[in-house]
A and B are shown apart, each in its own frame.
Chain A
Amino acid sequence: MSKQLHKDICDKSRFEVFFKQHAKSLYNFLYYKFGDRLNPEDKAQEAFIKLWENCKKVTPEKAKSYIFTIANNLMLNEAAHQKVVLKHQKTKTSHHTNLSPEFLMEEEEYRQKLEKSISKLTEAQRVAFLMNRVEGKRFKEIANLLGISTKAVEKRIYGALKKLRQDIEEL
């Protein structure tokens, strides 16, 4: 986290720096939580525009949680708590051709199972788990972004892992 020397971020260059720091994690957070149906990119942008409009009222320390809250609310306004299914993006493997058909089959099967299991996680678990696994964020960072304690993050991620393994085993 950068030091906040200024009283607000009503300055274009300060705003840009702030945007570059947080836009991507905000976008990822929205994506993990709500999937891509509701245009997480637009909502992330909207949240930043709201921040700019209210930059006098939002202190820099609060700015990050402000955009997360705003974006989250914008999403909630639209999301009717439908089930979120994230698409597994097949990672292109260069040694693709060397793999046996059985292995490919198995791999595809596992991928589908995982997709299903992840959609069964709670929102909180899914967000924390994917932030950790996909983005390699550490517990403390996640706790910071979500405004919860590290302990809670641990609990969510471990809970997610346990549940995923169980589900995959069963399927």
Chain B
Amino acid sequence: MNKEKLILKWLDNNLSPQELEAFKALEDYESIVKLSNYSTGFKAPEFNTDAALQAVLSKIEDKTVTKNNWLAPLFKVAAILAICFGAYYYTTTLDTSITTQYAEKTKIELPDHSQVNLNALSKITYNPKAWKVNQRELNLEGEAFFKVTKGSTFNVITEAGIVTVIGTKFNVKQRLNYFEVTCFEGIVSVEFENNKTQLKAGQSFVIINGNKIERQVTNNKKPDWLNSVSSFISVPLKEVLAEFERQYDVKIEVNNIKTNTLFSGKFTHNDINIALQSITQPLQLQYKKVNKTIILTRE
């Protein structure tokens, strides 16, 4: 038996008595045994199995207590429900809003079948959910004509004031320093700075720069702008030009002209030259068109 085999067998603690003798007779017997004996000194530090087991068991305990495995799927379901409910709530309470741009008009039917004509650069917002429970209320920025079906109170809230009706036709115009309500049918109640005013068919309520303006009764059945004409009765030129800008999507520059001058008249929405003439001729002005800018000067 060769040396390597003997040593291996010895290492494996598998020597027969005779083989052990042979192993002892090896010349490196002593050095191997010495090496082996010293090697035992590399024993790992004492390991306390029981203490370690207790530590592991207590950690396992901790984990199972805090884990709450059966709750995890519930939390997932709850989270999904919360998101769905949140999304539902958000979308249903979300206000519907309709906006028109320059030179754009649109017609809207509200949930109660009332009709709204929205003039250029205007916006209405309302909450469809509230309308379902007969709370008829909307916010208006700009100008709109309303044909309200009969029913509960119908509120038009603007920055300038609140217009309240039950079932009627009326026009509301709220622009910078300008608030005008005209009733065309039925009765309209206007609340302005805590004062309520009742308008009958044909009557108007006009506030310009914070001052109330008396206006003649009109025989029209609906506002002129629905026929693509803007009409003014004693309105400052400033507002007339602003309306012009809204209808034609242009910029008007004035040179040395008093924009507080009152203007009565009309301009069409269909032809910019005719429209410009209808404003400039009565006031004896001249106009020059450069791209999208119109310059007005004295004659």
Contact = CB atoms under 8 A, between A and B. Distances in A.
Given A44-B52, A45-B55, A138-B14, A133 B32 contact: no
B74 interface: no
Interface stretch (B36-44, B76-84, B208-216, B246-254): B36-44
A114 B63 CA distance: 44
Nearest to B14: A138
A136 B49 contact: no
A120 interface: no
B8 interface: yes
A19 B42 contact: no
Tell me the dominant secondary structure on chain B's binding face: helix
A91 B44 contact: no
Contacts of A40: 44
Nearest to A157: B11
A90 B60 CA distance: 37
Nearest to B55: A45
- Which range contains the number of A residues in contact with the other chain? 35 or more
Contacts of A79: none
A134 B39 contact: yes
The size bracket of the interface on B is 20 to 34
A165 B38 contact: no
B73 interface: no
Contact of A24 (B31, B34, B49, B56): B49
A23 B7 contact: no
B65 to A, nearest CB: 14
Given A49-B59, A165-B32, A134 B53 contact: no
B47 interface: yes
B28 interface: yes
A116 to B, nearest CB: 12
B54 to A, nearest CB: 10
A154 B8 contact: yes
Contacts of B39: 114, 118, 129-130, 133-134
Interface of B: 4, 7-8, 11-14, 28, 31-32, 34-36, 38-45, 47, 49, 52-53, 55-57, 59-60, 63
26 contacts: A16-B53, A20-B49, A27-B44, A27-B47, A40-B44, A45-B55, A45-B56, A45-B59, A48-B56, A52-B56, A53-B63, A89-B42, A89-B43, A91-B40, A114-B35, A114-B38, A114-B39, A114-B41, A132-B12, A134-B40, A134-B44, A136-B13, A138-B14, A158-B11, A161-B32, A165-B28
